[in-house]
Amino acid sequence: MLATAGPLRRDLLLAHLGALDARLRERGAALLVRTGDPIQVVAQVARAVGAATVHVNGDVSEYAQRRDAAARTALGARTELDVHWGCHVLRPGSVVAASTGSVHKVFTPFHAAWSTALAAGADRFHHDFDLGAGAAGAAGAPVHPRDPSLPSSLAPEVLAAPATRPADEPGEDGADARLSAWLDHVDGYDERRDQPGDDDGTSHLSADLHFGTLSPRHVVDVVGSSTPARAAFVRQLAWRDWYASLFLERPTLARSAMASELDAVTWRNDAGDIDAWIGGTTGYPIVDAGMRQLAATGWMHGRVRMIAASFLVKDLLVDWRIGEAHFRAQLLDGDVAQNAGNWQWVAGTGPDAAPYFRVLNPVTQSRRFDPDGEYIARWVPELADLPPADRHAPWELGPLELAAAGVVLGEGSDGATYPAPIVEHASARERAIRAYSVARAS
């Protein structure tokens, strides 16, 4: 599915696969690469090697659930499909509310139950044998990957060399190094996590957790919860398990609101506004900084993700699914459940969501979490010569103050160096609340 990912995530995946191939070659094996419909290809390879069991890493997206069910059928009764959940701390769906037998719809009780299960050593091996409908024990011994009938090297036409090398070392060794580096900073996480200008305030491990180069269970074991900051960090891994569990139970959450009445919101979906948001030219510096960071690096600071998402949905009244699709394509850590879950949270349409009338003020957020405008100066350099406190809302300055920093606000060919705001926040907030209220009333 390389075509569905942005170039930065695609190149990172290829780099990780290259690192895996190199590691396997050190042990006398290599990756086996085949192209085609995964349902057919997996069954063909399994038959060719006489596999009694096919081991796969589980995925909760709507597409993945359909694919895996069809692959199980294609394998037939003689080959078992054994699903593992290595990208989660606990198996999705294993933590449920005692009163309903289903996944909690509010995070706080889920986290309490998740923590209890984790402390008890639950689900240590991440298997889901219930999903393996086929009978094990097919005849025939496994074939060594060097069997000449099965090409065992990376196929150049499929896994071409990445166009751009990732900023960090790919593969498991690189992931281990990143985790080790994070341990030097994790005890400041609770105080520094929301400051986008602080490069050491967050772990930058999300892409490794997504691709599986780092086990989240291993992260929990290594980080522990001996300090409030460490406990706060581990709590973020519970959010990942929660969203995955919700999607396993209701896989349509990437395309339909959990609060179904809010599927009736009348979105504006103005093409010019969407282009400005994607291009980082909305005139709101903190939003533009985040969108430019995303385009350049495939990553965006978590607090800024919330601000940028709220701005698109609430200030511009653009359907959250449009923003979710863009983020998912561009993010190195783009994951259906995590991405859509967080977008629904911001949009006020999902489980345990922020109330629909909660609209983040981008200027207030910017001044609070990037007080010196350091993050803005890095990603919106045309504002870097403004005094730090003035970078958050340059339209509030007078022409002389702007001119002193070489800033001209405006649009088009009038010599503008930075756009004026494309929307006025206070009136946009009222417009969004009205739209949501109408949908709820209907």
132 pLDDT tier (thresholds 50, 70, 90)? very low
**Distance of alpha carbon 46 from alpha carbon 80, whole angstroms:** 10
Q: Could you tell me if residue 65 is inside a domain?
A: no
Domains in the chain, number: 2
Q: Given this model, what pLDDT does residue 140 score?
A: 31
Q: Could you tell me if residue 99 is inside a domain?
A: no
Average pLDDT over residues 340-344: 96
Q: Could you tell me if residue 311 is inside a domain?
A: yes
344-367 exposure pattern, b = at least 16 Cβ within 10 A, e = fewer: bbbbbbbbbbbebeebbbbbebbb
**Distance of alpha carbon 361 from alpha carbon 380, whole angstroms:** 19
Report pTM: 0.90
Taking alpha carbons only, the member of 308, 324, 325, 412 closest to residue 365 is: 308
Q: Could you tell me if residue 26 is inside a domain?
A: yes
Q: Given this model, what pLDDT does residue 124 score?
A: 57
Region for residue 346 given its phi and psi (left: phi exceeds 0; alpha: psi -120 to 50; beta: otherwise):
alpha
**Distance of alpha carbon 246 from alpha carbon 60, whole angstroms:** 9
43 pLDDT tier (thresholds 50, 70, 90)? very high
Q: Could you tell me if residue 350 is inside a domain?
A: yes
Report the chain's terminal Cα–Cα distance, integer Å.
39
Asked whether the predicted pLDDT for residue 135 surpasses 60, the reply is no
Bridge partners of residue 418, in order along the sequence = 409
130 pLDDT tier (thresholds 50, 70, 90)? very low
**Distance of alpha carbon 228 from alpha carbon 192, whole angstroms:** 13
Yes or no: say if 97 and 117 are a contact pair by the CB < 8 Å rule. Answer: no
Asked whether the predicted pLDDT for residue 142 surpasses 50, the reply is no
Asked whether the predicted pLDDT for residue 435 surpasses 60, the reply is yes
Yes or no: say if 440 and 262 are a contact pair by the CB < 8 Å rule. Answer: yes
Q: Could you tell me if residue 80 is inside a domain?
A: no
Q: Could you tell me if residue 317 is inside a domain?
A: yes
Average pLDDT over residues 149-171: 58
The CA angle 381-387-391, to the nearest 5 degrees, is 55
Q: Could you tell me if residue 345 is inside a domain?
A: yes
Decide: residue 143, CB within 10 A, 0-12 exposed, 13-18 middle, 19+ buried. Answer: middle
Taking alpha carbons only, the member of 182, 224, 188, 187 closest to residue 206 is: 182
Q: Given this model, what pLDDT does residue 144 score?
A: 32
**Distance of alpha carbon 441 from alpha carbon 158, whole angstroms:** 51
Range of the domain at 16: 1-31
